[in-house]
Structure 1
Amino acid sequence: MQKELDRRSLLKLTGGSLAALGVTAAGCGAGSGSGDGTVTLRYAWWGSDDRAERINKTIALFEKKHPKIKIKTDFQPYLDFWKKFNTQAAGGNPPDVFQNAIGFLRKYDERNVLLDLREQVKAGHLRLDGFRAGLEKFGEVDGKLLGIPVGSNSMALVIDKPLFAKAGVTPEMGWTWDDFHTAMEKIRDKGRPGDSGLYGVMYLYDLYLRQHGKAFFTKNGLGFTEADLKEWWTKGRQGVRSGIYADPKKVAQVKPKSAVAAELAAAEFTWDNFTVRYTAEGKSSYGLAPIPTTDGKKTGQYLGSLMLSGSRRTRHPRQVAQFIDFMVHDPEVAEIMGYDRGVPATTAQYEAYRPSQESDKVIASVNKDIAAYEESLVDADVLETITPHPAGADVCEAAFLRVAEELALGKRSVDDAVEQYFNECKTALGSR
């Protein structure tokens, strides 16, 4: 799923130069062909050095199995990727196939950038069978298939297990926000704030809204009111003042290190596939706990995912579809990628890779916990369909993070922060 652009995702998504990785920057024009029938596709993505190395291995495997299709690659850190992609899309020159996220589907569909992959499915070049938990529908927008998921993740509460045990707190599926609040008080009374703070965790707020029959986004705009957001941010501020949430200024000072690993809080909400960083950064033992509920049942959760999308301007839609099909179905790809982009989206890849395969025991243990967590969501039958995102959602996401931080650091009052946020979203979303 796109993931929220916060300190956790930026740590994971930055780094690496093209030269250091031996990656060829994409040239101009759509995918090309040669006299011998060989087709060249341009493929672009964002991520860490490790992701680039893994993806390059999958490309080598693809080219070995499909000698008539060559892949020219373009790897960038997250922010640089979208800056470059915006320029390419505006100039009618986007890559043939590229990594994508839910917040960008409508935006680029409305700009006629994205290839509807439905025709390639009908032609037999792209399979939609074998996806886990309905993920094949993740990239659908208004009847069009604009992206194919490569992995899944979901929101979770990362906890410092010894601190929770010391406070006598055992989070279980179905615990409520009242239970969560009580747990944070118990942990605070043992000497540490319970959570790192809820101000800027947009996708957690989305789940809270969904628990109340609303959503952060609808396909037309925001799905909540100024009064709703005022209530959420007021509770966040009260939590800081009561000591159950960490001091925002201290949290800001330790960035990019997480507040949990820095021992400023006992827990924080994030995407489950980000959890490897806590063991790498901290000295304690960390685990995943379920999302609190309003009624003891509904968490509002869905499986998010990174996706692969095609360009509407590509000259080779069949080869684009074949490339995407390979990347989401071939078992050897899963063995190479692991959980770098989330838990594999298809059953074939999920079964092909097991965390125990990792030589790094820390990564193996964390990946095992991630898989178990997502299996628990399926078993509990709490997963729902993801909320549609309107064009301009990416701007609203960035604004939420920034305005929430200004609020947390005391630069804005709650009323001022709410007004500022809605004004920015009205501009980003236009008449929506």
Structure 2
Amino acid sequence: MHSTSRQRRLTVVALTSLAVAVSATACSSGSGSSGSKDAAGGTYTVWDPYPQFAKGSDWAKLLDQCGTKAGVKIKRTAFDTSDLANKTLLAAQQGNSPDVLIVDNPVVSTLAEAGVLTTTDDNKLDTSKIDANLLAAGQSDGKTYGIPIGANTLALYYNKEVLNKAGVDISSVKDWESLTAALAKVKKAGKKGITFSAIGTEEGSFQFLPWFWGSGAKLTALDSAQGVTALSLWKGWLDKGYAPNSVLNNTQTTSWQEFASGDYAFSENGTWQLANAKKAGFDYGVIPVPAAEGGNAAAPTGGEFVTTPVQKDSARYGTSQKLVTCLTSGDALYETDNTLSYVAPTSEVQDKQVAANAALKPWADAVRAAKGRTSDDLGTKYPKISEQMWKAVQSALSGSKSPKDALSEAQLAVK
């Protein structure tokens, strides 16, 4: 935890891994904390990736409330996601990290490996109520480096009118076979099947992962028979006209715009589109992405972790622990996730959210089945794996390589 050893670990490799990890997921300048004569009072810095929430917003008020409870003032600085990660590494090199850092979950393992973050054990933070599948995204080498503030993930939105006219009962869609059969009926009825993002960035990997994991494949073996089956599913949809060729260039935003036209039966997208779904002008529903043989596929988790960076003045950790606890436990967690439009990381708060808003039920189910991209102790290996995955998806869907050849080449590149 000493600054000299930490700086030696802030290598070019860490910076490169970080640049890939934050390239697509989901801006004022500021300064971190320095030593304080009165660690139990004064001003504590919080950095977050929510520039959309200005001073006076519910989020900013919530931070101030947590500061008041801890007996300190909060100096908050908001950055874009990629900018935040890079600023965090620079601040750590300078020994000037914020007291509390809220950062995109795939970046946690990179910052941890670089020696930027303390562990939950270091700061005696209680993680016992956090869902294990969500907490795993912040774990590396058996240690936990923060607490998820909430989660979002992917599921399938569907247009009720399009399905009704095609004679599709949504309750029949339980696996890949029944989903593909539904798409065939929709096309026969003169409508469009499914839209998603297969762009050559992290967004493309993010959207492919539910199908990859839903096949039973693992990220350590991109070219497994199961992985080939998943990529063949997407390729088959394009070949049969069930999905448009535009998916090759679609971001999650442009994919949503296609669905919002009212012509598509399904759209793979996330909780962040709920507000837009209400404005779409047609009745919609949501189901979790089905696994190949039925049940819910594990979709990747989006969302941030609340972490405590290494400080030169260790006396500050006590108050930082109070701030992190305020944001991630009990009634405050319910307020936090409602403010940020996230599904909570605990079953207790998820149930409370669903009781207040029944529309969140399929999203709570999806989050409970979700999986961190850096889980399975992949850590900083994930960005390289993801890059080869999206390249393979692009190659297969464009027709330049077969799914098998594309994934075989991807696996060789990872090794």
CA distance, structure 1, for counterparts of residue 172 and residue 36 of structure 2: 53
- Contact 1:158 / 1:269 at 8 angstroms: preserved in 2? yes
CA distance, structure 2, for counterparts of residue 256 and residue 203 of structure 1: 14
Structure 1 stretch 342-351 or stretch 322-331: which is displaced more? 342-351
Structure 1 stretch 58-67 or stretch 383-392: which is displaced more? 383-392
SS state at 2:306 partner: strand
SS state at 2:264 partner: coil
CA distance, structure 1, for counterparts of residue 58 and residue 134 of structure 2: 23
Q: How does 1:383-398 map to 2 (within 5 A)?
A: 387-394=376-383, 396-397=385-386
Q: How does 1:306-317 map to 2 (within 5 A)?
A: 306-313=304-311, 315=313, 316-317=316-317
Residue 285 to residue 70, structure 1, CA distance change in 2 (3 Å): same
Per-residue deviation, residues 358-403 of structure 1 (Å, max 9, x unmatched): xxxxxxxxx6412x1145469xx86678544330424554665577
TM-score, normalised with respect to structure 2: 0.76
Structure 2 residue corresponding to 1:224, chosen from 208, 222, 225: 222
- Contact 1:329 / 1:349 at 8 angstroms: preserved in 2? no
SS state at 1:259 partner: helix
- Contact 1:150 / 1:341 at 8 angstroms: preserved in 2? no
Q: Which residue of 1 aligns with 2:329?
A: 329
Residue 134 to residue 300, structure 1, CA distance change in 2 (3 Å): closer
Q: Which residue of 2 aligns with 1:208?
A: 211
Per-residue deviation, residues 344-370 of structure 1 (Å, max 9, x unmatched): 2246655766786xxxxxxxxxx6412
Structure 1 stretch 131-140 or stretch 73-82: which is displaced more? 131-140
Q: Which residues of structure 2 form unaligned runs of 5+?
A: 1-19
Q: Which residue of 1 aligns with 2:9?
A: none
Residue 135 to residue 383, structure 1, CA distance change in 2 (3 Å): closer
SS state at 1:62 partner: helix
SS state at 1:49 partner: coil
- Contact 1:211 / 1:293 at 8 angstroms: preserved in 2? yes
- In the TM superposition, what is the alpha-carbon distance from 1:306 to its structure 2 partner? 2.2
Residue 260 to residue 332, structure 1, CA distance change in 2 (3 Å): same
Structure 2 residue corresponding to 1:64, chosen from 54, 64, 68: 68
Residue 66 to residue 303, structure 1, CA distance change in 2 (3 Å): same
Matched letter for residue 163 of structure 2? F
- In the TM superposition, what is the alpha-carbon distance from 1:148 to its structure 2 partner? 0.2
Residue 398 to residue 45, structure 1, CA distance change in 2 (3 Å): farther
Q: Which residue of 1 aligns with 2:318?
A: 318
Matched letter for residue 166 of structure 1? K
CA distance, structure 2, for counterparts of residue 135 and residue 115 of structure 1: 19
Structure 1 stretch 158-167 or stretch 168-177: which is displaced more? 168-177
CA distance, structure 1, for counterparts of residue 106 and residue 318 of structure 2: 26
Per-residue deviation, residues 141-165 of structure 1 (Å, max 9, x unmatched): 2221112011133431111122122
Calculate the aligned-residue CA RMSD, in Å: 3.9
Q: Which residue of 2 aligns with 1:364?
A: none
- Contact 1:32 / 1:41 at 8 angstroms: preserved in 2? no
Per-residue deviation, residues 110-169 of structure 1 (Å, max 9, x unmatched): 211121111322xxxx33344457655553322211120111334311111221222222
SS state at 1:195 partner: strand
Number of residue pairs matched? 385
CA distance, structure 2, for counterparts of residue 51 and residue 413 of structure 1: 47
Structure 1 stretch 282-291 or stretch 327-336: which is displaced more? 327-336
Q: Which residues of structure 1 form unaligned runs of 5+?
A: 19-24, 217-221, 357-366
Q: Which residue of 1 aligns with 2:237?
A: 239
TM-score, normalised with respect to structure 1: 0.73
Work out whether 1:369 is the aligned partner of 2:373. Answer: no
Per-residue deviation, residues 66-124 of structure 1 (Å, max 9, x unmatched): 22x23222211223223333433454543332123332232222211121111322xxx
Matched letter for residue 285 of structure 1? D
- Contact 2:48 / 2:78 at 8 angstroms: preserved in 1? yes
Structure 2 residue corresponding to 1:120, chosen from 114, 118, 123: 123
Q: Which residue of 2 aligns with 1:360?
A: none
- Contact 1:41 / 1:72 at 8 angstroms: preserved in 2? yes
Matched letter for residue 244 of structure 2? A
Residue 5 to residue 33, structure 1, CA distance change in 2 (3 Å): closer
SS state at 2:193 partner: coil
Q: Which residue of 2 aligns with 1:181?
A: 180
